[in-house]
């Protein structure tokens, strides 16, 4: 039987881990935009994706209350409108929380 050196085993292990990490990152990346519009009342929050090595498009990733994600084109008017509404909602919640702390 052929013997495998410790260095060869370590190299194969690192190669396997790096391939897994790249595959995981690619899975979390929007590669195309979803069709249709998402009603703002279903959106819990959003994240911004910029073009980089793995992700080939700029996108807004909307996160729903149901745990789903939707990739949207940041240049679409409904997307920018939804972001504005979410920002207003966040400020209102922050203000409400602050007022509640003051009263208690």
pTM: 0.67
What one-character-per-residue DSSP string does the chain give? Answer: -----HHHHHHHHHHHHHHHHHHHHHHTS--SPPSS---GGGEEEEEEE---SS--S-EEEEEETTS-EEEE-TTSHHHHHHHHHHHHHHHHHHHHHHHHHHH-
- 31-103, which class in CATH? mainly beta
Q: Is the pLDDT of residue 75 over 60?
A: yes
CA 40, CA 87: separation in Å to the nearest integer? 11
Distance between alpha carbon 72 and the CA centroid of its chain, in Å?
A: 11
The rounded percent of the chain whose pLDDT value lies above 70 is: 73
The per-residue pLDDT for 10 is: 56
The per-residue pLDDT for 17 is: 43
Q: Is the pLDDT of residue 95 over 90?
A: no
Question: What residue segments make up the domains of the chain, in order of their start?
Answer: 31-103
């Amino acid at each position: 039987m052929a013997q495998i050196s410790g260095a060869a085993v370590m190299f194969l292990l690192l190669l396997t881990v790096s391939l897994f990490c790249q595959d995981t990152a690619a899975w979390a990346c929007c590669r195309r935009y979803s069709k249709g519009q998402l009603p703002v009342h279903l959106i819990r929050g959003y994240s911004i994706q910029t073009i980089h090595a793995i992700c080939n498009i700029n996108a807004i990733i909307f996160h729903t209350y149901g745990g789903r994600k939707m990739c949207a084109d940041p240049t679409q008017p409904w997307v920018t409108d939804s972001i504005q509404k979410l920002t207003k909602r966040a400020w209102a919640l922050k203000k409400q929380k602050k007022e509640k702390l003051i009263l208690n």
